[in-house]
Amino acid sequence: MGSQALNVAVYETAQRAELFHKDISTDIKSVKAAIDMRLSDIIPSAQTWPVRLHQAQRHTLLSPGKRFRPLLCVFIAKGGGIQNSAVLDAAIDTACVAEMVHAASLILDDLPCMDNADLRRNQPTAHIAFDESTAILSATALLNGSFGVLSQLQHISAQQRVEMIDLLSYAVGSKGLIAGQMADLDNTNHDASIEEIERLNMLKTGALFDFSIQSAAILAEMSASQRATLKEFSYYLGLAFQLMDDVKDTIMSEAQAEKSVGRDIGKATILALTGSEASKKRLNTYILRAKEALAAARLTNVETFNAILDKQFAFLKT
């Protein structure tokens, strides 16, 4: 092949790669827009009585966010083979459930009795924008509402619906998110091992990832082996996400992190135990392990997930 022909071939390959990544980006934006639209429909309007309560719910739930957990849910479902539009609608609703629970956890995590944060997603936290009582009640309403959304899912079997409700109950219960939050409040043992800190991180962050991913696997009727592999993906992703949050809490400004920072001072974290550079190396290892597990799950859209993950952890390259 002559040099001119080689240059043309290289150029055409680059063009195909650019179009491929544009298609992935367009697909992600389209799904995110569908999730945002559905979230706005699920939650009562800001004019619905009691007005202040519903304004507070919408303040947190509809604030500009990455929608990382909902995107995981929808693309796991699509990658598992769901093509039926009605079942994809069920996946969108399930994704919204993950975001509702996440929003509720943020409201509670930011309270003065917890992390006492005043900024979240570049806007005042719920208890600052409204008041503590309204914030607590809005979080409770979001949690209760999430179960209602699951109970009304259409075009899936009763067995699938019950399994997903049970999965959510565990994720937000005293062995999941709540256990993680409780452990985090007592997290002052600086003699804690990395393994002990990882266990806390999995409870605090991984439980909702597990719901988002496993519920999508239920919708897609994946095999037991696929679900086991996705559980490994969820495990390492949860560890990566919490460690990323700890690193951002230390090295970023509030404007960069889009939330209050410095809330981990005095806590036993991997960052405090090993230092910044070692923590970044460990974070990269978690991401690599997550991608390896994801590849082993044999989904049809692994490239989309790699794009989502690379964007989420892009700060590591700066």
Instruction: Read off the pLDDT of each residue in 130-139 and give the average, rounded to a whole number.
Output: 97
pLDDT attached to residue 145: 97
What is the predicted pLDDT for the residue at 21?
59
Residue pair 237/209 in contact (Cβ under 8 Å)? The answer is: yes
CA atoms within 13 A on the CB side of 168: 27
Assigned token pair, 165: 């409700």
pLDDT of 9 > 90? The answer is no
Please give the pLDDT value at position 6. 43
Which has the minimum average pLDDT: 46-55, 56-65, 299-308?
Answer: 299-308
Residue 124 pairs in a beta bridge with 119
pLDDT band at 160 (very low <50, low <70, confident <90, very high): very high
What is the mean predicted confidence (pLDDT) over 40-49?
96
- Give mean pLDDT, residues 14-35: 73
**Other beta carbons within 10 Å of 55:** 19
Q: Would you say residue 149 has pLDDT above 90?
A: yes
Quick one: pLDDT at residue 276?
80
Residue 16 has pLDDT above 80, yes or no: no
Listed in sequence order, the residues at least 6 apart from 114 whose beta carbon sits closer than 8 Å to its beta carbon are 108, 181, 185
Average pLDDT over residues 55-61: 97
For the whole prediction, is pTM greater than 0.85? yes
| Least confident residue range of 168-172, 261-265, 282-286 | 261-265
pLDDT tops 70 at residue 12: no
Least confident stretch, 53-67, 209-223, 235-249: 235-249
The residues facing 184 across adjacent strands are: none
Q: Are 246 and 238 in contact (CB under 8 A)?
A: no
**Confidence category of residue 311, pLDDT binned at 50, 70, 90:** confident
pLDDT at residue 20, as a whole number: 43
Find the mean pLDDT for residues 12-21.
Answer: 43
Closest listed residue to residue 93, CA positions, set 13, 47, 155, 11? 155
Higher pLDDT, 149 or 21: 149
- Which domains, and CATH codes, for the chain? 18-317 (1.10.600.10)
The chain-wide mean pLDDT, for the chain, equals: 86
What pLDDT score was predicted for residue 252? 62
Selected residue with higher pLDDT from 67 and 5: 67
Mean local confidence (pLDDT), 11-29: 60
Tokens standing for 145? Answer: 């509402």
Interval 240-272: pLDDT, tens: 988 888 877 776 666 666 666 556 666 778 887
